[in-house]
Amino acid sequence: MKFATKAIHAGIEPDPGTGAVMTPIFQTSTYAQSAPGVHHGYEYARTQNPTRSALEKNLAALENGVDAICFSSGLAAQDAVIKLLKAGDEVLAVNDLYGGSYRQMVRVWGNWGLKSRFVDMYNADNVAKEISPDTKLIWIETPTNPMLNIVDIQAVCAIARKHGIITCVDNTFASPYLQNPLDLGADIVLHSATKYIGGHSDVVHGCLIVKDAELAQRLHFIQNACGAVPGPQDCFLILRGIKTLHLRVQRACENAAAVAQYLANHPKVAKVHWPGFASHAGHEIAKRQMRMFGAMVSFDLKDNSMENATRVMSRTELFTLAESLGGVESLIGHPASMTHASIPREERLKVGLTDSLIRLSIGVEDADDLIADLEQAIG
Ligand code: P1T
């Protein structure tokens, strides 16, 4: 089955009890048993819920995995992956990533004996040099948030496999429509489904997808034992969002290409970060591992004072100034004070995340209107 067909049909069957075509919201915490242990496969809703099961089957199909494990947020999904490790183990993570991912590794798991190091992965050979005997997990995010750098998933996962190290790819910025890391050798794919997968900025949700049944069992154990599960209403909203995932992402990518080109030609813009440009350092890798170049764009103005960046971010009318991304509506954000404030400034500057960097999440509106809005805001 091809992607668009899977988005609509994988894991979705009419409800056997009623014939309901759309997966019902099973708003129940528990299930009747006719005798102890005699039931329909569902005992207690932290462990299993039919709405969540349908979503997990669908997500597994979208990422070409064998199973998916759903969580109450993207960061809860990350938390479950790190619980595969033990004190003294090390995570080698890409040095440009969502601020909340960094914060959890350093400020929460650091207290429990996890070591995390953030390294340049844009040249895969550098990863081989950075691996230590304690490295047990390699954490890739690509394209990265917010600099839109590209990591060669296949090359890094091949190095990890040689050393027996688990790889997890945060595929949030690409979405499963653009990129499928399991096919490129990754062990685990993570999504903040809050973003493109949900697609409507109305639900917080996370998921992991794996291709190994035993790893799936370990993660389902953590899901049930630790309990950061999503409710059935949230799973329903994610299932509903997925039905148009391919259409939304395709349109958003086309819009992003037009906006990125417009910004690159603007006399007041210094630098535009978007992997679709032939001049982008990761362009050839992106062409190989992604279907399109994504709908996230970040840029610096020539007058890169905070006053000027603030002026632009406050003046947009269609682009809403807000955290998050991947919804149908376009958003504008300021990583240094919003999504990446928890990363120390010196670390941010090392990867080019300036105090005045502006990040855009391009939605599915008309590209001409988005460009006109930026035109009046940049002035
Ligand atoms: O917000 P949550 O569903 O917990 O997902 C966290 C997360 C994980 N990975 C990536 C790449 C992310 O971008 C995020 C969340 N990011 C934002 C809220 C943001 O505006 O960048």
pLDDT digits (tens, 9 = 90+) for 259-281: 999 999 999 999 999 999 999 99
Q: Whole domain around residue 258: which residue ranges?
A: 245-378
- Whether 31 is a known active-site residue: answer no
Q: Clarify whether residues 215 and 330 are in a common domain.
A: no
Q: What is the pLDDT of residues 177-201, one digit of tens each?
A: 999 999 999 999 999 999 999 999 9
- Domain co-membership, 229 together with 251: no
- % pLDDT > 90, the chain: 100
379 C-alpha vs ligand 1 centroid, how far in Å?
Answer: 31
CA of 141 to the centre of ligand 1 (A): 11
Task: Kindly state the average pLDDT of the residues 366-379.
Answer: 97
Active-site residue identified among 52, 98, 122, 262: 98
Catalytic residue list contains 98: yes
Among candidate residues 242, 257, 279, the one where a domain is terminated = 242
Nearest CA to ligand 1 atom 10: 98
Mean pLDDT within 211-240: 98
pLDDT band at 305 (very low <50, low <70, confident <90, very high): very high
14 and 120 assigned to the same domain: yes
Catalytic option among 31, 42, 46, 218: 46
Work out the pLDDT band at 29, boundaries 50, 70, 90: very high
Q: What is the largest CA-CA distance in the chain?
A: 74
Between CA 73 and CA 338 the distance in angstroms is 18
Mean pLDDT, rounded, of the chain: 98
Catalytic one among 115, 136, 195, 211? 195
163/258 Cα distance (integer angstroms): 42
Q: How many domains does the chain divide into?
A: 2
Q: What does the pLDDT read at residue 214?
A: 98
| 234, 77, 151, 277 alpha-carbon torsion, rounded to 10° | 20
Length of the chain: 379
Angstrom CA distances, 286 to 95, 129, 277, 293, 345, stand at 18, 23, 10, 7, 28
Do 8 and 101 belong to one domain?
yes
State how beta strands 269-273 and 296-301 pair: antiparallel
pTM: 0.98
Pairing of strands 188-192, 206-210: antiparallel
Structure tokens at 136: 């047990």
Task: Give the pLDDT of residue 5.
Answer: 98
Closest residue by Cα to atom 17, ligand 1, is 324
285/174 same-domain check = no
Q: Which ligand 1 atom sits nearest the alpha carbon of residue 323?
A: 20
How many whole angstroms separate alpha carbon 209 and alpha carbon 360?
Answer: 27
pLDDT for 230:
98
Rounded-to-integer distance, Cα 200 and Cα 100, Å: 21
Answer whether 73 contacts ligand 1 (Cβ < 6 A). yes
For the beta sheet containing 320-321, the strands, ordered from the edge strand earlier in sequence to the opposite edge, are 269-273, 296-301, 358-361, 331-333, 320-321
Indicate which residue's Cα is closest to atom 1 of ligand 1.
74
Statement to judge: residues 133 and 176 lie in one domain: yes
Atom 6 in ligand 1: residue holding the nearest Cα: 74
Grade residue 308 by pLDDT with cuts at 50, 70 and 90: very high
Q: What is the pLDDT of residue 203?
A: 98
Mean pLDDT of 236-260: 98
Band of pLDDT at residue 68, cut at 50, 70 and 90: very high
Question: Do residues 280 and 166 share a domain?
Answer: no
Q: Under a CB-based contact definition with an 8 Å cutoff, are residues 257 and 276 in contact?
A: yes
The pairing of beta strand 90-94 with beta strand 115-119: parallel
- Name the domain boundary from 242, 270, 299: 242
Q: Given 178, 213, 242, which residue is the final one in a domain?
A: 242
Secondary structure E strands in the chain: 67-71, 90-94, 115-119, 135-141, 166-170, 188-192, 206-210, 269-273, 296-301, 320-321, 331-333, 358-361
Distance 17 CA to ligand 1 centre (A): 37
Task: Compute the distance between CA of residue 72 and CA of residue 231 in angstroms, rounded to an integer.
Answer: 8
Q: How far apart are the first and last CA of the chain?
A: 48
Give strand pairing partners of 190.
Answer: 170, 208
115-155 residue pLDDT tens: 999 999 999 999 999 999 999 999 999 999 999 999 999 99
| Residue 68 and residue 207 in contact, taking contact as beta carbons nearer than 8 Å | yes
Nearest-CA residue for atom 16 of ligand 1: 324
- How far is ligand 1, taken at its centre, from the CA of residue 192, in Å? 6
**Quick one: which atom of ligand 1 is closest to the CA of 205?**
3
pLDDT at 181: 99
- Please give the pLDDT value at position 69: 99
Cα 202 vs. chain centroid, distance in angstroms?
Answer: 16
Residue nearest to ligand 1 atom 18, measured at CA = 324
Q: Is 325 in the pocket of ligand 1 (CB under 6 A)?
A: yes
Ligand 1 pocket residue status of 74, Cβ below 6 Å? yes
Q: What CATH number is associated with residue 37?
A: 3.40.640.10
* Angle, CA of 12, 15 and 21, to the nearest 5°: 65
pLDDT given at position 83: 98
